[in-house]
Structure 1
Amino acid sequence: MIDAIVFKYRTGIPWTDLPEHFGSWKGVHNRLRKWAADGTWKRVFTALLAQADAEGDLDWVVAVDFTVVRAHQHAAGARKRGRWPASRTIMRLGVLAAG
């Protein structure tokens, strides 16, 4: 079961393309969901971390990324479609010249 889950996430394949030797893809998917819901994965991860820490296999590295990504000017609140609201005052050139 774990091999099937690892294979799916390593390869990035859809669940329906899981090779038959792993069994039913629906069974694997349902087991993954149940284990996530009942906290099994959290307990496994915690136990593996504790074991690795006890054996001195952990080397913590923290990486912080200060990359700035700016939105395009049209993505920053510009009108998406349609005409401007009727409340906006628009003066025509002819009206301006006649006044």
Structure 2
Amino acid sequence: MLGPLLPVAVLDRPSVGRRQLIDGIRWLGRTGAPCRDLPPVYGPWQTVYGLFRRWQRDGGWS
């Protein structure tokens, strides 16, 4: 169901698993921590935050 909403890999960048990004968003929501405190296991915080904001603006979370 989430497949079409997930980002497509961009060349010349290290791949972060889609599951990792979603888990990062869930971790932020669960803990209420600032994005910059995201553990590195979930990928760069900027990528996780950008995905979250894009889905929030598009209504993907409603």
* Larger-gyration structure (1/2): 1
Q: TM-score, normalised by structure 1?
A: 0.39
Which residues of 2 match residues 63-78 of structure 1 at below 5 A?
A: none
Report the counterpart of residue 42 of structure 2 in structure 1. Answer: 22
> 5+ residue gaps in structure 2?
1-20
- Aligned-residue RMSD, C-alpha: 1.0
Q: Which has the higher contact order (CA 8 A, sep 6+)?
A: 2
Percent of aligned positions with the same letter in both sequences? 43
**What does residue range 1-99 of structure 1 map to in structure 2 within 5 Å?**
1-42=21-62
Give the Å deviation of 1:20.
Answer: 0.3
The alignment's TM-score, normalised by the length of structure 2, stands at 0.60
Gaps in structure 1 of 5+ consecutive residues? 43-99
How many residues are aligned here?
42
Quote the Cα distance in structure 1 between the aligned partners of 2:27 and 2:39.
9
User: CA offset at residue 17 of structure 1?
Assistant: 0.8
Runs of 4+ with >2 A deviation: none
